Structures are given as structure tokens and as C-alpha cells.
Chain A
């Protein structure tokens, strides 16, 4: 089955700086890679996702890159703000050919210091 590794487990950045979180996956058939933000005691919220037919996707201050050959994908947050502080999870699954459940990385606790 799929195995997703995520690094780092914790990340502290100064407000305004960029944050990068990296994930690798093992199943070459995985083609859907979402990123979730989870605040304490709340449900995960989708912040961006990417499918295997593209290499990069951007939404305002958030971007995700995907390298299918190396089986890794990364989340980039620019101009970080204190409200970006949360736990971020990457995930991987298959779509369109027998959907599989999301397999999550272990999470990254991001702290943005004002």
C-alpha cells in the first residue's frame, strides 16, 4: 500500500518568511496529492491539491510542486502570517481508476512568529 513520509515535523519561521514542507510517496499509481491545514481540535481543511498531470499549482500565497519521477511533492507558503500557524498534512491517493482512501503524512507543526 501507499506510504507517505513528511518533513519536517516542526517548523518555525518569522512572519513574512517562506515555509516549505516536503512529502514523498511510495505508490507510483497515486495521482492525487492534497494538502490539509488542521487547527487544534478541528477538522482538516483542504488548502490546495495537485494531480499528477501537472507539476505545479499556485493559489495566492500557497503553491504546491510535484515531481512524479522522484515521487515527491512540496508545499510552499510565502509571506507567512501568524494565522498560518497550524498543523499541515500532506496526503496521497488514487483517483479515477478505483479511488483509494487518502494516506496521510505524519504532519508538520508550523509556527509563524510575529
Chain B
């Protein structure tokens, strides 16, 4: 099946610094990728929809200036957590779909566990 690769898998950063997370579709083109956040023992909450070549669409309550999304190619989307705070510590997961397939399955990256100290 299609593969979505996400890096890094774990990152620890200091408060106030920025962290970039990459999401790549390895064998298909993904004009749209989705970024989710998952707090411990909770569900996946959609943060934003990343559109190739255009601005991302953010869900209500998600600060676009804090969570910067860049989708510069058909196979890569990046999420940058700027000025990170301890409350940003969470599991971040991306997903991508092969838009050439009408009934495409959503594939998830491995996830990134971010810890802000």
C-alpha cells in the first residue's frame, strides 16, 4: 500500500524554540495532506488541511501563526510549531491521500511525539 513518511518521530525542544515536522508521500502524489494532533488517551483532532501550492485551511481554534504549514510540492508538507510551549507537547500525525484515486484510502505518517521542556 501507499506509504506516508513523517519525521522526526520524536523531538524534545526548549520553550520558545521552533520545531519543523515533515510529512512525505513516498509513492503517490498528495495534493492535500491533513495534520492532526492527539493528546494522551484522546482522539485525533484535525488541525489543518494542507493544500499544495496554496494556503492551508485551519480548523477553528488553531492558530495559523503558531502552526505554520507549507505544502510546496505534491509529496511534501511541513508543519512548524513556532515559539513552542509545554502545552504544545503532543503527538502530531499527518495523513495523505492519492487524489488520482477516487476512492483513496487515507494513509498516516508514523507520528511525531513533541515534548516541550
A43 near B109: Cβ-Cβ < 8 Å: yes
Q: What is the interface residue range for chain B against chain A?
A: 20 to 34
When chains A and B are docked, how far (Å) is the Cα of A105 from the Cα of B111? Answer: 19
Interface of B is mostly: loop
When chains A and B are docked, how far (Å) is the Cα of A43 from the Cα of B113? Answer: 11
- Name which residue of chain A comes closest to B60, CB basis: A1
Interface of A is mostly: loop
Known: A43-B110, A43-B111, A89-B43. A102 touches B34 (CB 8 A): yes
A101 near B110: Cβ-Cβ < 8 Å: no
B interface footprint on A70-114 (CB within 8 Å = 1, 0 otherwise):
000000000000000000010000011001011111110000000
B104 → A minimal CB distance (Å) = 8
Q: Does A7 contact B (CB under 8 A)?
A: no
A108 → B minimal CB distance (Å) = 10
The 7 closest A-B pairs by CB, nearest first: A43-B108, A106-B43, A104-B43, A104-B44, A101-B34, A107-B43, A101-B46
Chain A contacts to B: CB under 8 angstroms: 32, 34, 41-46, 49, 51, 89, 95-96, 99, 101-107
Chain B contacts to A: CB under 8 angstroms: 32, 34, 42-46, 49, 91, 93, 95, 97, 99, 102-106, 108-111, 113
